[in-house]
């Protein structure tokens, strides 16, 4: 008996996304190694933690496809992008990567809507929310570096930025949870 409740198109899209999340993990690992090598241990720590989160995302896609009776396929992962030249380029790259990933997530949401695959649509809502957080985190990195002086930041302000990122949480607060007293 065929127990696969995913259409071939949805199964492939979810499997591709499983691999895409591993590519994101490698990208952040690679950026983290670059930052560590430059002496930014706090930024590296932030990126290593983020690399682990991306791997967790990949596992969620893997589990979901298996639970629906499909079989995800591990594919060759493209090499991560080249090392950034500056911290600004590093943070811009992270932001762009997240926005690109959101586009990929929306495509799967759209496909699930077209196919009226409500289980997949429901599963994907977790990722829609997660991408809001991840884009916010990436945007906050750009803002923090800008305040520190961008590529002309002093060693002292970069030291403070690096230290703050080591201690910064993995998730950004969602607008849905904001109140007047705690915006
Ligand atoms: Fe798994 Fe940063 O998206």
Residue nearest to atom 2 of ligand 1 (CA): 98
Q: Which atom of ligand 1 is nearest to 101's Cα? A: 3
Q: Which atom of ligand 1 is nearest to 102's Cα? A: 3
Residue 168, judged by CB atoms within 10 A of its CB (0-12, 13-18, 19+), counts as middle
With H, G, I as helix, E, B as strand and everything else as coil, classify residue 13. helix
CA atoms within 13 A of residue 155's CA, in its CB half-sphere: 2
Q: pLDDT tens, 55-113?
A: 999 999 999 999 999 999 999 999 999 999 999 999 999 999 999 999 999 999 999 99
Q: Which atom of ligand 1 is nearest to 97's Cα? A: 2
How wide is the angle at C-alpha 41 spanned by C-alphas 50 and 170, nearest 5°?
Answer: 25
With H, G, I as helix, E, B as strand and everything else as coil, classify residue 21. helix
Residues with CB under 6 A from ligand 1: 21, 24, 54, 57, 98, 101, 134
Q: Are 23 and 80 in contact (CB under 8 A)?
A: yes
By C-alpha distance, which of 97, 70, 69, 79 is closest to 15?
A: 70
Q: CB within 8 A of 40, min separation 6: which ones?
A: 87, 158, 162
> Mean pLDDT, to the nearest integer, of 147-159?
91
Would you tell me the crossing angle of helices 41-67 and 118-148 to the nearest 10 degrees? Answer: 170
Q: Where are the domains of the chain?
A: 8-171
pLDDT beyond 90 at 136:
yes
For domain 8-171, give the CATH number. Answer: 1.20.1260.10
Ligand 1 geometric centre to CA of 177 (Å): 21
**Residue position matching structure tokens 């699930």:** 112
Residue nearest to atom 1 of ligand 1 (CA): 54
Q: What is the pTM of this model?
A: 0.94
Q: Are 126 and 64 in contact (CB under 8 A)?
A: no
> Mean pLDDT, to the nearest integer, of 46-61?
97
As a whole number of angstroms, the distance between CA 142 and CA 109 comes to 28
Percent of the chain residues past pLDDT 70, beyond the cut:
100
What pLDDT was estimated at residue 174? 83
């Amino acid at each position: 008996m065929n127990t696969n409740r995913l259409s071939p198109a949805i199964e492939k899209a979810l499997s591709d996304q499983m691999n895409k999340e591993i590519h994101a993990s490698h990208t952040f690992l690679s950026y983290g190694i670059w930052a560590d090598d430059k002496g930014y241990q706090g930024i590296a720590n932030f990126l290593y933690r983020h690399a682990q989160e991306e791997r967790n995302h990949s596992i969620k896609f893997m589990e979901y496809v298996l639970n629906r009776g499909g079989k995800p396929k591990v594919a060759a992962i493209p090499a991560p992008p080249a090392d950034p030249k500056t911290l600004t380029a590093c943070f811009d790259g992270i932001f762009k990567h997240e926005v690109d990933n959101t586009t990929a997530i929306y495509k799967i949401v759209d496909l699930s809507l077209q196919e009226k695959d409500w289980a997949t649509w429901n599963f994907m809502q977790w990722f829609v929310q997660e991408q809001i957080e991840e884009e916010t985190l990436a945007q906050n990195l750009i803002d923090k570096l800008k305040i520190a002086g961008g590529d002309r930041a002093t060693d002292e302000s970069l030291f403070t930025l690096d230290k703050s990122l080591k201690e910064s949480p993995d998730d950004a607060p969602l607008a849905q949870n904001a109140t007047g007293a705690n915006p």
